[in-house]
Chains A and B, each alone.
Chain A
Amino acid sequence: MWADAIMAMGVNHKTAPVEIREKLTFSGDCQATVRQLKEIPGCDECYFLSTCNRVEILFVSRDQENTARAVRDFLFSAANLSDAEIGRYSYFYQGEPAIDHLFRVSASLDSMIVGEPQILGQLKQAYRDATEQNSTGTILNRLLHKAFSVAKRVRTETNIGGGAASISFAAVQLARKIFGELKGKRVMLIGAGEMAELAAEHLVTQGIDHVTVANRTLERAANLARNFNGSAISLAEVVGKLEEVDIVISSTGATDLILRRDDVKPLMRQRRNRPLFLIDIAVPRDLDPKLNDLENIYLYDIDDLKNVVEVNKSERAKEAASAERIVEEEVLKFQQWLENMEVAPTITAIRQKGETIKNQELAKTLATLDHLSAKEKKAVEALAASIVNKMLHDPMLSLKTNCRPEEKRQKLALTRQLFNLDQTVGAPPPARDAGG
């Protein structure tokens, strides 16, 4: 069985704390790691994935036990861990569970934040590294392409990546619902806290035009403003500057309110009612809750944003259930393919296909030739049968001849593709931009 030849081994954020994971981090050059892996005897195909949340090797081998041991030694060679520790911190899947694991990883069901899309890009990069080292073969090529298409299916058929799953992303998403495009918009940070900086960073990558930083100590404001190519002002200038900005993120340690409703109300006329999005992530709050009563002002405090994130997360969990179903389905399909990747079922399938075509064509032709005698009809049937058999003879002979396992797999895959035995429409996407 090919299925049992597929194995996955590694550590991730669920099985091992970061202290363990960082010990496994291989030098930035993944291709070098793949090159070393390839040298392991018995390792027919392999691929190596290393991200901040996981280090993982996927490999195919006929000599399962020995290769698995060798791969394990290689993976943990730098970590200096006892066997028991390795057992505790790592996971090892073989056969169907390995396929299931890979699909779940690519669909972002195994991620720290379920539904975050980065993992797919990392997976594709890892695959690219592996193909450049020629370390993948028929099985891993097909398996990884399938993993990409599973991820795509999950993304289009479920809403797993829908709502923002972090506070700063939630703020960005809200801003986009209010302003549409964020290009040309201006943001003001009141207080130079870390969270405000993070939110501002997200906003800047979304095309925010200008960042103003207001802080009690002007020096810190100036330092932070420099990061964003922005300008620094003192707290006293905040109200005056409000007329020019669209988004305000406040995070000072002040015990009293910084902006009150009555400070801002007269400004809205000067702003010609352009909307103002106020984000208050300070505790105690900086911004007067009554500000939200003003027209065209949208005020969110830290609890509001946390609620948004909570709602989104539970939404994602719900979507994850339907994603799991998709994964299950695709694992089954892949197993079906693997099972057929043997000589006997392939030959049967080719024979059946030939038989079906022969019968269909005979029925069509004989229907128009009813003046033929029974003997002549027999001759026509025999002719059709012998053409089909002669045509299929050489391909089947070639499949039966002995050769190296990888060569055999390639031959089988090609044959199945040429005869369209798996009923796939079109070939799998190319490695470079697989999925999309």
Chain B
Amino acid sequence: MNDPLFLGTLTLYAVTTAVYLVFFIRQTKRLRDTARTFLLVAGVVHTVCIAVRYFKAGHTPLTSMHETISFFAWSMTWAFLSFRWRYEVKNFGAFVSPLITGLMVLAALASNEIHELQPALQSSWLPVHASLAIMANGFLALAFCGGLMYLRQEREIKYKHFGFFYSRLPSLEALDNLNYHSVVIGFCLLTVGIITGSLWAKQAWGAYWQWDPKETWSLITWLIYAALLHQRLTVGWRRRRAAIMAIIGFSAAMFTLWGVSYLLEGVHSYVG
């Protein structure tokens, strides 16, 4: 690793996480404000880091595993910050920031070499399709964190065991709202991501859809979230079920991102 900007971003995220975790235990306002400031700074530095890479590479930096995961972490950060601006979910940061830092560590472990752009990727669809698809993951990751918090908090209330988490986690209602909002935004981005991918495929390979594993798995992911939203709006699948579905859906999304690239062969396999 010899990219100081990236390492700086990673360090900032790690510090943010540490402060959020201490805040989670101590619950003092000053720590929370510190963590928020750190995260905001990390988000800004990360943006600069990605922009610098864009100019260095001469193309959208979304073509290697390192770049993809780093952009994923960036999306999560800004998705989280955009929510923070709209409404407050108590102690959400303590769950989101470790995931962001984890992603950044994975990105750091992947090779950060800048590759020449393969001919198949030389298209103005690249920035649109790839960034939308990954930004969708950013929001779906928030729903995933919210889902874990929901299941934990519901356990506390249902089994009347008021431990460490009960007072620190927000209300079930707040977590369910969070689930709904982030799934709706993530789902829309995912939909547009799949459509743009399909248009690009038509241009590059001559067919809109060819059941490549990545396509198949993103469709499966899409169907899971579509089912969740449909059931929520028609028969009221909310709360616990929505939380579980958000966790399952996110696992599928992660498999689409990684599993497919490593385990299955396909036309998308240049990403990796």
In-complex Cβ contact of B241 among A156, A174, A273 (8 A): A273
Q: Which residues of B contact A292 (CB under 8 A)?
A: 158
Which residues of chain A are near B170, meaning CB under 8 Å? 180
Interface flags, A144-174, vs B, CB<8A=1, else 0: 0000000000001001001100000000001
Q: Is there a chain B Cβ closer than 8 Å to A364's Cβ?
A: no
A179-B240 in contact (CB<8A): no
A273→B172 CA distance, assembly (Å): 13
- A307 contacts B160, CB within 8 Å? yes
Contact call B171/A273, Cβ cutoff below 8 A: no
In contact, B173 and A296 (Cβ under 8 angstroms)? no
Secondary structure call for the B interface: helix
Contact of A431 with B by CB under 8 A: no
What is the 8 Å Cβ interface bit string for chain B, positions 165-191, against chain A (1 contact, 0 not)?
Answer: 011001111100100000000000000
B125 contacts chain A at the CB level, 8 A cutoff: no
B241→A308 contact, CB < 8 A: no
Contacts of B167 in A (CB 8 A): 162-163
Residues A304 and B160 in contact, CB atoms below 8 Å apart: yes
* B120 to A: closest C-beta gap in Å: 46
Contact of B157 among A163, A181, A298, A311 (CB under 8 A): A298
Are B237 and A177 in touch, CB under 8 angstroms? no
**Which residues of chain A in 291-308 are interfacial with respect to chain B, using CB atoms and an 8 Å cutoff?**
292, 295-296, 298, 300, 304, 307-308
Contacts of A274 in B (CB 8 A): 236, 238
| B236 lies within 8 A of A177 (CB) | no
Q: How far is the CB of A326 from chain B (nearest CB, A)?
A: 15
**Across the interface, which residues of A come within 8 angstroms of B162, CB to CB?**
308, 311
Asked if A300 meets B160 with Cβ closer than 8 Å, knowing A269-B235, A272-B235, A273-B236, the reply is yes
A159, B164: Cα distance in complex, Å: 13
- Interface readout for B142-157 with A: 1 if CB under 8 Å, 0 if not? 0000000000010001
Closest Cβ–Cβ distance, residue B161 to chain A (whole Å): 10
Within the complex, the shortest CB–CB distance from A67 to chain B, in Å, comes to 44
Please give the number of chain A residues whose Cβ is less than 8 angstroms from any Cβ of chain B in the complex.
26
Q: Complex formed: what's the CA distance from A179 to B177 in Å?
A: 11
Give the docked Cα–Cα distance between A289 and B134 (Å).
46
Contact (A176, B241) CB under 8 Å given A272-B235, A300-B160, A311-B162: no
A313 to chain B, nearest CB (A): 13
Contact A273 B166 (CB under 8 A): no
A178 interfacial by beta-carbon distance below 8 Å: yes
Measured in the bound complex, the distance between the Cα atoms of B173 and A180 in whole Å is 5
Tally of B interface residues using CB under 8 Å? 22
Residues 235-276 of A, flagged 1 when their CB comes within 8 A of B and 0 if not, give: 000000000000000000000000000000000010111110
Shortest distance from the beta carbon of A311 to any chain B beta carbon, whole Å: 6
A177/B171 contact (C-beta < 8 A), A273-B241, A295-B240, A311-B162 known:
yes
In angstroms, how far is the closest chain B Cβ from the Cβ of A244? 15
Which of B28, B170, B238 has the most chain A CB within a 10 Å cutoff?
B238
Partner of A176, one of B171, B177, B235, B240: B171
Interface centre among A174, A292, A296 (most CB of B within 10 A): A296
Contact of B239 with A177 in the complex, beta carbons under 8 Å: no
Q: Which residues of chain B have C-beta atoms less than 8 A from A178's C-beta? A: 157, 171-173
Q: Which residues of B contact A295 (CB under 8 A)?
A: 240-241
A242 to chain B: closest CB distance in Å? 15
| B239 and A181 contact, CB distance less than 8 A | no
Measured in the bound complex, the distance between the Cα atoms of B157 and A177 in whole Å is 8
- The reply to whether A177 and B172 form a contact with Cβ atoms under 8 Å apart is yes
Most A Cβ at <10 Å: residue of B157, B160, B238, B240? B160
* Smallest Cβ-Cβ distance to A312: which chain B residue: B162
A275–B166 CA distance with the chains assembled, in angstroms? 18
- In angstroms, Cα B159 to Cα A300, docked, is 10
B239 contacts A179, C-beta separation under 8 Å? no
* Cβ of A339 to closest chain B Cβ, rounded Å: 32
Q: Which residues does chain B contribute within 8 Å of A177, judged by CB atoms?
A: 153, 157, 166, 171-172
Distance in angstroms between the alpha carbons of A269 and B235 in the assembled complex:
7
User: Nearest residue in B to A175 (C-beta to C-beta)?
Assistant: B171
Is B158 touching A275 in the complex (CB atoms < 8 A)?
no
A163, B173: Cα distance in complex, Å: 20
Question: A159 vs B25: C-alpha distance in the bound complex, in angstroms?
Answer: 12
Given the known interface contacts A162-B167, A308-B162, the answer about A273 and B153 at a Cβ–Cβ threshold of 8 Å is no
Contact B171 A180 (CB under 8 A): yes
Bound Cα distance A177, B240 (Å)? 15
**Per-residue CB proximity of A121-162 to B under 8 Å, as 1/0?**
000000000000000000000000000000000001001001
A-B contacts, 26 of them at CB < 8 A, read A156-B28, A159-B27, A163-B167, A176-B171, A177-B157, A178-B157, A178-B171, A179-B171, A179-B172, A180-B170, A180-B173, A180-B174, A272-B235, A273-B235, A273-B236, A273-B237, A273-B238, A273-B241, A275-B239, A295-B240, A295-B241, A296-B240, A298-B158, A300-B160, A304-B160, A308-B162
- With A156-B28, A162-B167, A178-B172 already in contact, 10 other A-B pairs whose C-beta atoms are closer than 8 Å: A177-B172, A178-B173, A180-B172, A271-B236, A273-B241, A275-B239, A295-B241, A296-B240, A298-B158, A308-B160
- Give the interface of A toward B (CB within 8 A): 156, 159, 162-163, 174, 176-181, 269, 271-275, 292, 295-296, 298, 300, 304, 307-308, 311
**4 closest cross-chain pairs (CB), A and B:** A272-B236, A180-B173, A180-B171, A273-B236
